[in-house]
Amino acid sequence: MRMLVFGHGYTAGFLTPLLLARGWQVAGTTRADAARVAEAGAEPLIWPGDDAAVRQAIAGADAILVSVAPERGADPVLAGFGAEIAAARPRWLGYLSTTGVYGDHGGGWVDEDTPLTPSTRRGHERVAAEQGWQQLAAEHGLPLHIFRLAGIYGPGRGPFAKVRAGTARRIVKPGQVFSRIHAEDIARVLLASIHAPRPGAVYNVCDDDPAPPEAVIGHAAELLGLPLPPTEDYASAEMTPMARSFYAENKRVSNARIKRELGVTLRYPDYRAGLAALARAEGITV
């Protein structure tokens, strides 16, 4: 069985070993970091660049995962290779989207049937990309699965380095919560879907505990035995427009469907479990 990953980055680095252990061959595209892709055990394909090799990989793929963000308002994989993917008819096709497609719900719960009302440019672009893939799938009978990912963390992407460096910030916006997901659990959800395809399915991929961002930073400081970073009021805090935009949306994302349909049991059901694992990996006693 052969998997092709468009955008073999951080998340794919957790999926590839799971596939290799089950006898799969994996190829992944990268703009320039072929060594990183190869280190994960996948065959690197430079794209943009070696388009002929990518087309050959598409033709031979049993499964294709798209982990590339829209660029300049368009999905580059759909635009560049949509016809080839339709002709190849893989057994499984996955698209990694974001929970940002739901927009702001004032801290209320959303699930996969919630209407999509994005409030940011990135959210609007993701909705358009989802619709583009759904149209391609409908026209050609492709087994498309959409995964809406919450905020990703994991090894190398935890808060400990910033807490140690004294650069972590506890920015408080009353009532604000974010949903998160450990990268290992994303990989396990994708593997479960590959083993039990349901063409047309949409899955939220997040943990059980939407939580205030300042709580996560505070818990990381506690695990390190360091003082809590001072709180900052969101209204007056100095932030980049990008950072501030993340606080424009406030929602709790339900993960019930991945449990019900895919039988997934999260290894890291909340940020406490996830941070404890990261701490142990870094040699921090918890």
For residues 272-284, average pLDDT: 93
User: What pLDDT, in 10s, does the model give residues 36-49?
Assistant: 999 999 999 999 99
pLDDT the model gives residue 73? 87
pLDDT the model gives residue 285? 74
Q: Is pLDDT of 126 > 90?
A: yes
Q: Provide the residue type at 1 as one letter.
A: M
Q: Whole-number mean pLDDT of the chain?
A: 96
- 3-class secondary-structure state, position 164: helix
User: What pLDDT, in 10s, does the model give residues 135-152?
Assistant: 999 999 999 999 999 999
pLDDT the model gives residue 135? 98
pLDDT the model gives residue 98? 98
Q: Are strands 63-66 and 92-98 parallel, antiparallel or unpaired?
A: parallel
In angstroms, the Cα distances linking 232 to 235, 243, 246, 264 are 9, 14, 16, 37
Q: Is the pTM of this model over 0.85?
A: yes
For residues 19-23, average pLDDT: 98
CB 203 within 8 A of CB 193: yes
The end-to-end CA distance of the chain, in Å, is: 41
pLDDT the model gives residue 286? 63
Residues 6+ apart with CB under 8 A from 209: 269, 270, 271
Q: Is pLDDT of 208 > 80?
A: yes
pLDDT the model gives residue 260? 98
Provide φ and ψ at 245, rounded to 5°: -65, -30
Length of the chain measured in residues: 286
Cα–Cα distance between 144 and 162 in angstroms, integer? 38
Query: What's the pLDDT band for 99 if we cut at 50, 70, 90?
Result: very high
CB 104 within 8 A of CB 248: yes
Cα–Cα distance between 181 and 179 in angstroms, integer? 7
The rounded Cα 200 to chain-centroid distance in angstroms is: 19
User: What pLDDT, in 10s, does the model give residues 241-265?
Assistant: 888 888 999 999 999 999 999 999 9
For residues 164-169, average pLDDT: 93
Q: What percent of the chain has pLDDT over 70?
A: 100
pLDDT the model gives residue 40? 97
Q: Is pLDDT of 30 > 90?
A: yes
In angstroms, the Cα distances linking 38 to 16, 28, 51, 95, 147 are 10, 9, 18, 22, 25
pLDDT the model gives residue 284? 83
> Running DSSP on this structure, what letter comes out for residue 153?
E
Q: Is pLDDT of 278 > 70?
A: yes
* Element holding 131 (H helix, E strand): helix 121-140
pLDDT the model gives residue 142? 98
Query: What's the pLDDT band for 93 if we cut at 50, 70, 90?
Result: very high
CB 3 within 8 A of CB 18: no
For residues 109-130, average pLDDT: 96
Q: What percent of the chain has pLDDT over 90?
A: 94
- 3-class secondary-structure state, position 114: coil
Residues 6+ apart with CB under 8 A from 22: none
